[in-house]
Structure 1
Amino acid sequence: MADRRNGELAPPTESTVRGEDWYGRELSGDQYTRVEFLDVDMSEITTRNTVFTECAFRNVSFAQAVHTGAGFLNCTFTACRFFETEFTSCKLTGSMFDRCTFTLLKATGGDWSFVGLPGADLRGTTFSELRMREIDLTFARCQKAAFRGVDLSGAWLSKADFTEADLRGSDITALDPLTTTITRAIIDPDQAIVLATALGVRVLPA
C-alpha cells in the first residue's frame, strides 16, 4: 500500500517481531534493518546509538521511551503511541507517521528532515534545536506546540494550525500566512519581517 509521502511505497520488511514485551529494555548500539515490529510494547525502552533502518512499527507503544543518538531511518510508524517520549540528538530522516499519537512528545537536537507528519496531532509537543527541512506538516495540528530554533526550510505547512505555538528562532521562510494558521503564535522580530515579506508588505524605518 502506498502509505508514504508522494505515494512512495514503504520498504518491504524481511522479518517480524510480533506481540513481544520489550518494556523497559535497554538497547545500545543495536542494528535493525527491514524489521516489522507489530503489537510490540516498547514502553519505557531506552535506546542509545541504536539504528533502525527501513523498519515498520505498527501498533507499537513508545510511552515514556528515551532515545539518545538513535536513528530511525526511512521507517514507517502506523498507529503508534508516543506518550512523553523523548528523542535527543536522533535522526529520523525519511520516516513516515500515520495515525500516531504524540502526547507531550519532546525532541531536542538531531535531524527530522524529509519526515512525513501530515495531519498529525502535535498539540503541546516540543521540538527544539533540530533540523526539519522539507518535513510534511500539511494539515498538522500544532496548537500550543513549541518549535524553538528549528530549521523548517522547505517544509510543507499548508493548512497546518500553529495557533499559540512558540516559533521563536525557527526558519519559517516556507510558511505562507495565507494558507497556514498562526493566530497568537509567538515569533521574534526577524520572523515578523519574514511574515511581512510573505504578505507583500515592506518594512521600513519610521
Structure 2
Amino acid sequence: MTETTNHGAVFDRCTFRGVRFNVSRHAGAAFTSCTFSHCTFFDTQFTDCKLVGSLFQQCTFNLFKVSGGDWSFVGLPGCDLRRASLQSVRMREADLTGARLEEASVTDVDLSGAQLHSANFIRCDLRGSDLSSLDPLTAHLGQATVSLEQAVVLVTALGLNVA
C-alpha cells in the first residue's frame, strides 16, 4: 500500500498484517471493523475516512495525519502517536488506553466516551476536543494546551467547584 492514492475504497472486516501504508493518501475510504497488525504508517494521511470498529496492534505511526471522518470504537491502545495530527475527527468511545500522544495535535476531536486511562497528552494541543471522558488523575497532561472551556471541564473532573 506504499504510495497508494485511495479514493473511496471499502474494506470491511479485513486483516492487514505487516502492511506498509507509507506515503499513502486515503480520502473518503472505509476500513470498517478491520485489524491492522504490525503495520507501518509513515507520512500517511486519512481524510474523511471511516474506520469504525477497527483495531491497531503494534503499528508504527510517523508523520501520521487524520482529518475528518469517523473513527468511533477504534482500538488504539498503547499506540505511539507522538506528533500525530488528528483534526475534526469523530472518535467516540475509541480506546486510547495508554496511547502516547506527546506533542500531537488533537484538535476539534470528538472523544466523548473514549477510554483515555494512562494516555499521555504531554505538550499536546487538545483545543476544541471533547474531554468529558478524560480523568485528569489518570492521564498525563503536563504542558498540554486546552481552551478555557476545557479547563473548566478538567477542573470539574478533579472535583473542584468553579465559581
Q: TM-score range by the shorter chain?
A: over 0.9
Of residues 91, 96, 120, the one that matches 1:132 is 91
Q: Give percent identity, aligned residues only.
A: 54
State the Cα deviation string for residues 11-48 of structure 1 (Å, max 9, x = none): xxxxxxxxxxxxxxxxxxxxxxxxxxxxxxx1110110
Corresponding residue for 2:107? 148
Q: Does 1:120 align with 2:86?
A: no
Corresponding residue for 1:75? 34
**2 CA distance for matches of 1:161 and 1:150?**
16
SS in 2 for 1:136: coil
SS in 2 for 1:164: coil
**1 CA distance for matches of 2:142 and 2:131?**
15
Of residues 112, 125, 148, the one that matches 1:166 is 125
TM-score normalized with structure 2 length: 0.99
**2 CA distance for matches of 1:169 and 1:159?**
21
SS in 1 for 2:62: coil
**1 CA distance for matches of 2:80 and 2:7?**
27
**2 CA distance for matches of 1:107 and 1:135?**
14
- Report deviation, 1:203: 1.1
Corresponding residue for 1:59? 18
Corresponding residue for 1:4? none
**2 CA distance for matches of 1:60 and 1:109?**
23
SS in 2 for 1:102: strand
**1 CA distance for matches of 2:33 and 2:3?**
23
Q: Computing the radius of gyration over CA atoms, which structure comes out larger, 1 or 2?
A: 1
Whose RCO is larger (CA < 8 A, sep 6+)? 2
Which consecutive aligned stretches of 4+ in structure 1 deviate over 4 angstroms post-superposition? none
- Report deviation, 1:98: 0.2
**2 CA distance for matches of 1:142 and 1:66?**
22
Of residues 176, 185, 204, the one that matches 2:135 is 176
Structure 1: state its 5+ residue gaps: 1-41
AA matched with 1:189: L
Q: Does 1:186 align with 2:137?
A: no
TM-score normalized with structure 1 length: 0.79
Total equivalences in the alignment: 163
Aligned-residue Cα RMSD (Å) equals 0.4
Structure 2: state its 5+ residue gaps: none
**2 CA distance for matches of 1:176 and 1:104?**
28
- Report deviation, 1:202: 1.0
